């Protein structure tokens, strides 16, 4: 049951982010995460104590990283690649995750959609990342494991790299990613600015 609730929760979380963007509305990702959990529990006929709910939501501040991430960031840095974090997460969530994972030193910028008040894959998010970094949008390679993010970045003019850890089928809505890898460390040879 927990895995089922988690799947509904994640689906609602993304759906809510897409919908508030389409409706020209905005609520930060922490708020959407709480609302999506409420939906998942209602949808499955469950109720949890408010403290348990708060604990589940706060787990987003301590998300584990994939085993290849730290080594991949180190390899990219050694290859001369500037890494930028571009996320739908709120600034407080991102700061907590980076602190917990010990990854903050690898990123020259940490950019949240809070700055533009729309969620990926809206083109304003990717243009904002280019403005913050002072780079032309076409000189940036967005790295993500989310096909919607790859499609959005490509439409905004970025180059893309999809981390396909599970051998999934890529989205048919947009063009295929420029690069497909199984883990982050494979990107070090590209030596281009990375955002993701």
pLDDT for residue 116 is more than 70: yes
Contacts of 186 by beta carbon, 8 Å cutoff, 6+ apart: 72
Mean pLDDT score, 17-30: 96
ω into 161 cis (within 30 of 0): no
Q: pLDDT band for position 90 (50/70/90)?
A: very high
Domains of the chain, by residue range, sit at 2-62, 69-195
> Looking at the whole model, is its pTM more than 0.75?
yes
pLDDT tens for 176-189 read 999 999 999 899 87
pLDDT at residue 190, rounded to an integer = 67
Mean pLDDT score, 24-28: 96
pLDDT for residue 27 is more than 60: yes
pLDDT at residue 123, rounded to an integer = 97
Class in CATH terms, 69-195: alpha beta
CB contact at 8 A, 160 and 167 = no
Eight-class DSSP state of 187: G
pLDDT at residue 189, rounded to an integer = 72
Mean pLDDT score, 106-112: 97
pLDDT at residue 1, rounded to an integer = 76
pLDDT at residue 51, rounded to an integer = 92
Mean pLDDT score, 154-163: 97
CB contact at 8 A, 127 and 159 = no
Q: pLDDT band for position 112 (50/70/90)?
A: very high
Mean pLDDT score, 60-69: 89
Average pLDDT, the chain: 93
| Of residues 112, 101, 94, the one with CA closest to residue 71 | 101
DSSP letters spanning 27-62 = --HHHHHHHHHHHHHHHTT----HHHHHHHHHGGGG
Nearest 10 degrees: Cα torsion 119, 129, 75, 187:
70
Q: pLDDT band for position 62 (50/70/90)?
A: confident
| Calpha distance 144→156 (Å, rounded) | 15
Class in CATH terms, 2-62: mainly alpha
Q: pLDDT band for position 192 (50/70/90)?
A: very low
pLDDT tens for 36-52 read 999 999 999 999 999 99
Q: pLDDT band for position 149 (50/70/90)?
A: very high
């Amino acid at each position: 049951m927990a895995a089922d609730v988690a799947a509904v929760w994640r689906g609602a979380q993304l759906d809510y982010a897409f919908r508030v963007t389409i409706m020209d509305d905005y609520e930060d990702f922490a708020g959407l995460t709480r609302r999506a959990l409420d939906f998942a529990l209602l949808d499955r006929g469950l109720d949890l104590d408010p403290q348990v709910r708060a604990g589940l939501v706060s787990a987003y501040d301590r998300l584990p990283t994939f085993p290849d991430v730290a080594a991949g960031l180190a390899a990219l840095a050694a290859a001369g690649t500037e890494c930028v974090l571009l996320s739908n997460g709120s600034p407080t969530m991102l700061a907590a995750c980076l602190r917990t994972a010990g990854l903050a030193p690898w990123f020259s910028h940490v950019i949240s959609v809070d700055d533009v008040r729309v969620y990926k894959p809206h083109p304003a998010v990717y243009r904002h990342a280019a403005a913050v970094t002072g780079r032309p949008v076409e000189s940036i390679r967005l790295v993500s494991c989310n096909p919607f993010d790859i499609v959005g970045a490509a439409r905004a003019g970025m180059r893309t790299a999809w981390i396909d850890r599970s051998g999934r089928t890529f989205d048919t809505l947009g063009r295929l990613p420029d690069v497909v890898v199984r883990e982050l460390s494979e990107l070090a040879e590209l030596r281009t600015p990375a955002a993701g």
